[in-house]
Structure 1
Amino acid sequence: MTDAAFIADRSRPRSWVDDAVRLIAADARRSADTHLLRYPLPSAWCEVVDVQLYLKDETTHITGSLKHRLARSLFLYALCNGWIGENTTVIEASSGSTAVSEAYFAAMLGLPFIAVMPSSTSSAKIALIESQGGRCHFVANAAQVYAEAERLAEETGGHYLDQFTNAEAATDWRGNNNIAESIFEQLREEQHPIPEWIVVGAGTGGTSATIGRFIRYRRHATKLCVVDPENSAFFPAYAQGRRDVVTGMSSRIEGIGRPRVEPSFLPDVVDRMVMVPDAASVAAAHHVSAVLGRRVGPSTGTNVWGAFGLLAEMVAQKRSGSVVTLLADSGDRYADTYFNQEWLAQSGLNDSAPRAVLVEFERSGFWP
C-alpha cells in the first residue's frame, strides 16, 4: 500500500468564494454606520432627573432594516464554512425583512435566492423580496416553512441559511463593528456613555445574543432587556426557565416573537424580559412616528414601550442614565396594515388604552 492511499483531498479552487467575501466586505465598507438618534423626552420631568433615550436607526441600511446585518453575517458564515459556492441556490424560511436583505446579497453574488413563506403572505412583502431579485415559494401552513426550506435545499443542491438556528453563531459578538460595538462607540462622548439598559426584541434571538455577549465581554454594567409580543414563546420560556415552550400561534408584531423558542435565543445573557401587549406596540409605533415625523415599524413600537417603562422606573428612583433601543425598520412597509385603521379594527388591535398611557407618561413620567 502506497502513501497515496492515506490521502483524501477535497480541495477546490477558492477564487469565487474569495471574490464573494470581498464583494460583501466592500459593500459593508461603502455603507456608513447607522445613526444613533437622541429621542426628545419631555423636559418637564427630565429636569427632575437626567435621563436620555437613544434609538439606533437601522432603517438607514441599504435594504432598510436591522436584518441587513443578519443577512450579511449569514452569507459570510456560509461562504467561509464552504456551504455556498458559485451557482449555489440560497434558500431561507422568511416572508419579511430577513428575506429582503438576503435576496439583496444573493443578487450581489449572482446567486438564485428562494424565500419560503406561507401562501397568506401579503403582496407588499412579496413585492419587496422580488424587487431585490428573490423568488417566493409558498406553503399552505406557516409551520411547514422550515421543512420545505430544507427539502428545497436538498432538491436543488442548494444551501438553507436557516436564520433561526445560525443567527447567534454567524454574528461576531466580540466586535468587528457589530451593532453592540457600534452603540457603545457612538455613545462615547455622551453624558451617560455606558447605558443603564439596552432594549431589543427577539425574532431569531441573534441580536439579543450579540448584545448580551458583548456587554459581558467588555465588562460593561449595562443590562439587557428583551421585549416580547403576545403569542410568542420567548417570554414564557424565559419566565419558566424552559426551552420547550410552544405557543402554536404566530406573533402579530412583524419581525419579533416566535411560536417556538429558536436555537439562537440565549436566555442566560438576558437580564429582564417584558411582555408587551400588541395594541401597546401599535400605539407606541404611532406615537414615535408622530414625534420623529416619519413612520416606524411595529417592532420599534414594542422596543420603545419597553424602554419607556425602564425610563419611568429610573425617574421614579431619581436615577440618572441612558437607555438605548432599536429603530428596527420603516413603518412605510406597513402602510396597509399597522398604519391602516380598518386593518387594525379587523385585527382586534384597539390601541386607545395604551395611547392614554403614553400621554400620561409624557405628562408626568409615570408608568402604570
Structure 2
Amino acid sequence: MSWSTRALDTLAAGPPTRLIDFPVRVPGVRLLLKDESGQPTGSLRHRHARALFRQAVLDGLITEGVTVVEATGGNAAVAQAWFARRLGLPYVVVMPGRRDPARARAVEALGGECRFVTPPLAIYDAAREIEGHFLDQFGRAAPHDLAEELFAQVRPDWVVTGAGTGATSATLGAVAREFGCRVAVADPDNSAYFPGWTLDVPDYATGMPSRIEGVGRPRVEPGFRPDLVDLVVPVPDAASVAAARLIMELTGLPVGGSSGTALWAALELAGRMRARGETGTVVSLVGDAAERHLATYHDDAWAAAKGLDVAGRLAELRQRV
C-alpha cells in the first residue's frame, strides 16, 4: 500500500458529533446545537484540517516526509498538528505576536513547532518562506463533510454558523438547498462579512481584528461564498460572550465565543420566525469547548477589561429560553 493510500485512510471521517436540544421560547421552533467540541481535537477546526490535508494528499502536494506549514493560531493549529502527527509529518505553524509558551503548548505537545512573528499580518509571508507545503487555510478553505453528516441526522430549516475562513458556510450552503434548508452566518463586531454581504462588495475590508476567537475577519476571505448564504446576522461581542455563558449554564460545555455568536444569531432567527408565523428546526454550531475559555469568555474580570456589558445581554437571553 502506498503512503498516499495509507494517508487517505488515516484522513477518513470519524463518527458523527451529537445534536443537543436547546430551549427556546418560540412555539413550533426547535433549536439544536451541533456539538463540534466532540471532535478528537475538540473543535470544528478538526474538520477543516482533515479536509485541507486530504485535498493536499489527493493533489500530490503533501507526500511522505513533507513539512506541513500554516499561518494561524488556536484551534486550527492544534487540529493540524494532530493530523500531521498521525501522518508522520513535520508541522510548523507561524503564529502572530510575541512568543507565548501557553499558546504554543498544545501544538508542541503534538510534536509541532511554533514560530511567532510580528506584526500579525506578516505571518503569511513568513509561512511561505518555510520549505514545505503551505496549507493556507484562508486561501484554500477546502470544503469538508459537515453538511452531509448534519443532514443525515436531521432536516433543519436553518443552519447557523460563524465565518472564519468561510469554508463552513460555503460547505453548508452548497448542500443545504438540496434539503430545503437555508444558511445564516453570525458575524461579530469588526468583521467584514456582514457589511461585505450587505453591500455586495466581495473584497470588503474593515482592517480591524475580531475579538471573538475563530470567527470574524478584517477582510472577506476567498473561501466565503456570499451566493451560498441566505442571511448574515451581526452580533455584538457582549452578546457573543453572554450566549457562550448561557450554553455552559444549560449544557455544562465551556464553549468559546464563536459558539455564543452562533447561538445569539440562532435566537434572533427564531424570533424572526415567530414574527412571520413560521415553524421549524434551527441548528446552531458549537465550534469548540475548552477549559481555557473559563479564563476569558466566562470570566467577569476579562469581560470588564474588554468593556463588555455581559450581564445585561445575559439577562436579555434568559428571557428567550
Which category describes the TM-score, using the shorter chain as reference length? over 0.9
Distance 1:252 1:146, change over 3 A: same
Pairing partner for 2:18 from 17, 35, 38: 35
Alpha-carbon distance in 2 for matches of 1:292, 1:120: 35
Tell whether 2:23 aligns with 1:23.
no
Alpha-carbon distance in 2 for matches of 1:351, 1:128: 29
Tell whether 2:146 aligns with 1:179.
yes
Alpha-carbon contact 1:95-1:121 (below 8 Å) kept: no
1:248-268 superposed Cα distances (whole Å, 9 cap, x missing partner) = 211100001111111100001
Q: Letter of the aligned partner of 2:116 in structure 1?
A: F
Alpha-carbon contact 1:246-1:261 (below 8 Å) kept: yes
Compute the displacement of 1:331 (Å). Answer: 4.0
Distance 1:345 1:196, change over 3 A: same
Pairing partner for 2:82 from 101, 104, 111: 104
Alpha-carbon contact 2:42-2:288 (below 8 Å) kept: yes
Identity, in percent, stands at 45
Compute the displacement of 1:123 (Å). Answer: 4.1
Aligned twin of 2:160: 199
Alpha-carbon distance in 1 for matches of 2:82, 2:71: 15
1:132-175 superposed Cα distances (whole Å, 9 cap, x missing partner) = 221111101111111111112xxx2x0000001111xx325xxx
Counterparts of 1:131-150 in structure 2, within 5 Å, are 131-150=109-128
Alpha-carbon distance in 1 for matches of 2:300, 2:290: 14
Compute the displacement of 1:214 (Å). Answer: 0.5
Aligned twin of 2:172: 211
SS at match of 1:322: strand
SS at match of 1:136: strand
Alpha-carbon distance in 1 for matches of 2:230, 2:279: 19
SS at match of 2:211: coil
Alpha-carbon distance in 1 for matches of 2:206, 2:148: 34
Q: Superposition RMSD on alpha carbons, in Å? A: 1.6
Q: Which moved more, 1:81-90 or 1:121-130?
A: 121-130
Compute the displacement of 1:185 (Å). Answer: 1.2
Tell whether 2:293 aligns with 1:334.
yes
Counterparts of 1:250-261 in structure 2, within 5 Å, are 250-261=209-220
Pairing partner for 1:266 from 225, 242, 256: 225
| Corresponding residue pairs, total | 321
Aligned twin of 1:68: 46
Aligned twin of 1:358: 317
Alpha-carbon distance in 2 for matches of 1:274, 1:121: 35
Alpha-carbon contact 2:192-2:206 (below 8 Å) kept: yes
Q: TM-score, normalised by structure 2?
A: 0.95
Extract structure 1 runs of 4+ deviating beyond 6 A.
none
Q: TM-score, normalised by structure 1?
A: 0.84
Q: Letter of the aligned partner of 2:264 in structure 1?
A: W
Alpha-carbon contact 1:118-1:138 (below 8 Å) kept: yes
Pairing partner for 1:299 from 238, 258, 265: 258
Q: Letter of the aligned partner of 2:16 in structure 1?
A: D
Alpha-carbon distance in 2 for matches of 1:124, 1:281: 24
Q: Letter of the aligned partner of 1:79 in structure 2?
A: V
Q: Which moved more, 1:31-40 or 1:280-289?
A: 31-40
1:243-285 superposed Cα distances (whole Å, 9 cap, x missing partner) = 2222121110000111111110000111110110001000000
Q: Letter of the aligned partner of 1:100 in structure 2?
A: V
SS at match of 1:361: coil
1:194-238 superposed Cα distances (whole Å, 9 cap, x missing partner) = 32211110000000000001123x2x2211110111111111111
Alpha-carbon distance in 1 for matches of 2:174, 2:277: 29
Distance 1:80 1:137, change over 3 A: same
Alpha-carbon distance in 2 for matches of 1:250, 1:329: 20
Counterparts of 1:222-301 in structure 2, within 5 Å, are 222-301=181-260
Q: Which moved more, 1:237-246 or 1:281-290?
A: 237-246
Pairing partner for 2:135 from 161, 165, 173: 161
SS at match of 2:170: helix
Structure 2 gaps, min length 5 = none
Q: Which moved more, 1:304-313 or 1:340-349?
A: 340-349
Alpha-carbon contact 2:77-2:107 (below 8 Å) kept: yes
Distance 1:122 1:333, change over 3 A: farther
